[in-house]
């Protein structure tokens, strides 16, 4: 994602954004449908269990809490790790920007003419804008990737439950 130029060079970032967003939307849609189906089927099992507790599906009831705990725990771990990596990237970016700012200040201070001073200021501002744009795009993409990865364990559990309960 480095050195994404303004204009046409940003097309790969926009394509990646659309691709990841589409995958996350599909995952969320599948999760919503599967969760609704699982709730409906388990409520039905609950009603039958109230009518005849002896024949109730005790195995299904016993797996409800542990599977949710595991799915959300896995999701939380992925989210925590992804957030840490985003934080590390932001820290690196800030350290790099401090260096770039110092370089720009030195270029301005050592300018030998007003034209050179203005050129140094303009170069500093333009290069900062390019880096900031690339950084914003990269952080947006990384956030979307973390979102999808964090939802994956919950999605997997819900869709597997729906498939199992259909049998």
pLDDT score of 137: 92
pLDDT score of 1: 39
Residue 55 has pLDDT above 60, yes or no: yes
Q: Tell me, yes or no, whether 53 lies in a domain.
A: yes
Q: Tell me, yes or no, whether 13 lies in a domain.
A: yes
For the purposes of burial, counting CB atoms within 10 Å of the CB of 155, is it exposed (0-12), middle (13-18) or buried (19 or more)?
buried
Residue 3 has pLDDT above 60, yes or no: no
3-state secondary structure string across 108-145: HHCCCCHHHHHHHHHHHHHHHHHHHHHHHHHHHHHHHH
Distance CA 51, CA 56 (A): 9
Q: Tell me, yes or no, whether 97 lies in a domain.
A: yes
What are the DSSP E strand ranges found in the chain? none
Helix (H) or strand (E) holding 68: helix 58-109
Q: Tell me, yes or no, whether 1 lies in a domain.
A: no
State the pTM of this model.
0.81
Q: Number of structural domains, the chain?
A: 1
For the purposes of burial, counting CB atoms within 10 Å of the CB of 143, is it exposed (0-12), middle (13-18) or buried (19 or more)?
middle
Domain enclosing residue 32, as ranges: 7-166
Q: Tell me, yes or no, whether 2 lies in a domain.
A: no
What is the share, in percent, of the chain residues with pLDDT greater than 70?
94
Query: What is the pLDDT confidence band of residue 18, given thresholds at 50, 70 and 90?
Result: very high
Q: Tell me, yes or no, whether 113 lies in a domain.
A: yes
* Nearest partner of 124 among 140, 109, 143, judged by Cα: 109
Q: Tell me, yes or no, whether 70 lies in a domain.
A: yes
Q: Tell me, yes or no, whether 110 lies in a domain.
A: yes
Q: Name the average pLDDT for the chain.
A: 94
pLDDT in tens, 104-135: 999 999 999 999 999 999 999 999 999 999 99
């Amino acid at each position: 994602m480095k050195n994404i130029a303004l204009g046409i060079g940003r097309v790969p970032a926009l394509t990646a954004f659309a691709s990841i967003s589409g995958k996350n939307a599909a995952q969320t849609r599948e999760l919503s449908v599967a969760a609704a189906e699982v709730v409906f089927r388990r409520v039905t099992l609950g009603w039958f269990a109230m009518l005849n507790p002896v024949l109730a599906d005790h195995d299904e009831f016993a797996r409800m809490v542990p599977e949710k705990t595991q799915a959300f725990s896995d999701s939380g771990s992925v989210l925590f790790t992804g957030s840490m990596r985003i934080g590390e990237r932001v820290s690196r970016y800030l350290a790099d920007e401090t260096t770039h700012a110092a370089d720009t200040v030195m270029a301005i201070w050592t300018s030998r003419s007003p034209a050179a001073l203005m050129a140094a200021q303009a170069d500093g501002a333009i290069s900062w804008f390019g880096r900031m744009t690339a950084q914003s795009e990269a952080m947006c993409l990384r956030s979307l990737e973390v979102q999808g990865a964090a939802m994956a364990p919950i999605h997997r559990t819900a869709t597997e439950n729906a498939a199992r309960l259909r049998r």
